[in-house]
Amino acid sequence: MRFLTILCGVTGALGATSWIAPGAVWYDTDGQKIDAHGGGIVQRGDTFYWVGQSASSNESPMMYSSTDLLNWKNLGKQASSVTGLWRPKIAKPNGSFWLYGQQDRYVLSLKSAQMVGGYSTVKKVHLPPSDYSYSDTGMYYDEASTTWYLLTSADHNTVQINKINSDGTVGARASTLTGGAYEAPGLFYAGGVYFLIVSGKTGWRSNPNKVFTATSLSGPWTGGSNIAPESEKTYNSQNTYELTIKGSQQTTYLYMGDAWDSKGSTGSNYVWLPMAVSPSAKTVTLQYHAMWKVDVNTGVVSYPTAKKRYATRDAQVSRRASSRNSAGSSHKIKRGDEIAFHNVTGTGSRQWVSLLYTANEPEAGQAYIVVNDEVRPVNISDLNSRAGYHGVVPVQLVLKPGDVNTLRFGVSGASGFEVSVDGIEFYEED
């Protein structure tokens, strides 16, 4: 059974976003779901500009801005007449601002006199040296040479890096990565090493993304190790961009990925994670956390502090008789069971709530949640695509102020689908 995916409580009062939660639905400052897939980020001054494709507007380029990587303001479509533009990225090779993205298996370039808005089509780019069809545009700015580079993957299984000329045209090929069916390239530099991250070609299905390294942009590229455990399939995401935060205390490298649904539609979410980077070992390892943030001034990554926990042992279990595990701290529930948490404290504004549970087979069913007197339950996987995988599932809800809320947790799906529920947890807001 497919439940209604919009929960009235979720779209209510706004509050500042305190944490990055990989796989969760993220909202902009107007309370709307962020819609910027396959994107990249450019920092100018103290402001970050995130541009990506809008799934709700036929892949028109959409832009958001933020000063903390948490709270994003929707700046609207950047070229309202342009649709079908996949994975747009920004560059500034001259006095103008440029957008490059994939359209009809070629690279389309657009130009504007300002960062935000007013982009118009310049040309459909035929990448040198051969006019192959290309996809999955990426972008890299090399500080040492003050040069922008366009990354693309080709239908003939070649990842290509091309210099962007000072007039905005795409110039000579710097290097290529061959030997595998790769796409979704992203590039960053650390400790004298260039790190090139790519995805395999598996459509909308996630796969183990890999990293290759070189000491020069001209290559050769070597390696091919996974950036996350093989079984995690890059935490159900695909690479889109790598962002470097040069803080006063440390430099932090961030992975930006898309958690695509089966069609790359508006139901897709985002997976951003800090990376452990070793130039000596030439490795990149994603550091998975259910909730985290980075101080854009210091570069320090931090995690939430638990404020209050509602344990399953104190909740009301209804309908079928559910079994408690041997540790006595969680309940295993199946289809038809429900657990109700009463007297839950809310703020009246949107807040993070972590649902503490795992599923025996996350693809075999759905856990759902009902807030207070809502008539219809909501699939938790519609609020966070990591539901059931990692034991901690953050979602954003709006609860009534005070200790007056009830959250009902239940299960639907195949008869063998089973969920172990430990409780729910709230965090200090800072």
Q: In this model, does residue 95 exceed pLDDT 50? A: yes
Sheet of 269-278, strands arranged across: 238-246, 251-259, 269-278, 283-286
- The pLDDT assigned to 7 comes to 38
pLDDT tens digit string along 196-253?
999 999 999 999 999 999 999 999 999 999 999 999 999 999 999 999 999 999 999 9
- The pLDDT assigned to 216 comes to 97
- The pLDDT assigned to 126 comes to 83
Mean of the per-residue pLDDT values of the chain: 91
- The pLDDT assigned to 357 comes to 93
- 91, two tokens: 């560059």
- The pLDDT assigned to 430 comes to 63
Mean pLDDT value of segment 177-202: 97
Strands in 338-427 per DSSP E: 338-346, 350-359, 365-371, 378-379, 393-398, 402-413, 419-427
User: What CA–CA distances, in Å, run from 224 to 94, 118, 153, 155, 271?
Assistant: 34, 40, 16, 20, 21
Half-sphere exposure of 93 (CA within 13 A, CB side): 22
Q: In this model, does residue 292 exceed pLDDT 60? A: yes
Query: Percentage of the chain with pLDDT > 90?
Result: 79
Q: Is 56 helix (H, G, I), strand (E, B) or coil?
A: helix
User: What CA–CA distances, in Å, run from 126 to 92, 169, 170, 172, 265?
Assistant: 20, 10, 8, 12, 28
- The pLDDT assigned to 79 comes to 96
Q: How far apart are the first and last CA of the chain?
A: 38
Among 113, 118, 14, smallest CA distance to 72 is for 14
Q: In this model, does residue 336 exceed pLDDT 80? A: yes
CB-based contact 26:54 (threshold 8 Å):
no
pLDDT tens digit string along 338-375?
999 999 999 999 999 999 999 988 888 889 999 999 98
What does the DSSP assignment read for 49-106? EEEEEEGGGTSEEEEEEESSSSS-EEEEES-TT--S-EEEEEE-SSSSEEEEEEETTE
**Alpha carbon distance 122, 169 (integer Å):** 10
- The pLDDT assigned to 327 comes to 46
**Alpha carbon distance 309, 133 (integer Å):** 53
The residue to which tokens 């007297």 are assigned: 343
- The pLDDT assigned to 415 comes to 84
Q: Is the dihedral of CA 411, 417, 423, 424 positive or negative?
A: negative
Strands 331-333 and 306-311: unpaired
Lowest mean pLDDT among 23-27, 155-159, 189-193, 266-270: 155-159
Q: Is 241 helix (H, G, I), strand (E, B) or coil?
A: strand
Work out the number of other CB atoms within 10 angstroms of the CB of residue 104.
11
What pLDDT band is residue 6 in, cutting at 50, 70 and 90? very low
pLDDT tens digit string along 125-175?
888 777 878 889 999 999 999 999 999 998 889 999 999 999 999 999 999
The residue to which tokens 């008539």 are assigned: 375
The residue to which tokens 């089509």 are assigned: 121
- 87, two tokens: 């994975």
The residues, ordered by sequence, that sit 6+ positions from 202 with a Cβ below 8 Å of its Cβ are: none
Higher pLDDT, 61 or 335: 61
The residues, ordered by sequence, that sit 6+ positions from 5 with a Cβ below 8 Å of its Cβ are: 267, 378, 379, 382
CB-based contact 229:206 (threshold 8 Å):
no
**Alpha carbon distance 423, 426 (integer Å):** 10
- The pLDDT assigned to 13 comes to 63
3-state SS, one letter per residue, for 248-262? CCCEEEEEEEEECCC
Mean pLDDT value of segment 89-111: 96
- The pLDDT assigned to 393 comes to 96
- The pLDDT assigned to 326 comes to 40
**Alpha carbon distance 291, 101 (integer Å):** 31
Work out the number of other CB atoms within 10 angstroms of the CB of residue 193.
17
- 414, two tokens: 């195949």
Q: In this model, does residue 8 exceed pLDDT 50? A: no
- The backbone region for 413, taken as left when phi is positive above 0, alpha when psi lies in -120 to 50, beta otherwise, is left
The secondary structure of residue 279, as a DSSP letter, is: T
Q: In this model, does residue 287 exceed pLDDT 70? A: yes
pLDDT tens digit string along 30-79?
999 999 999 999 999 999 999 999 999 999 999 999 999 999 999 999 99
Lowest mean pLDDT among 225-239, 305-319, 387-401: 305-319
Strand-pair partners of 179: none
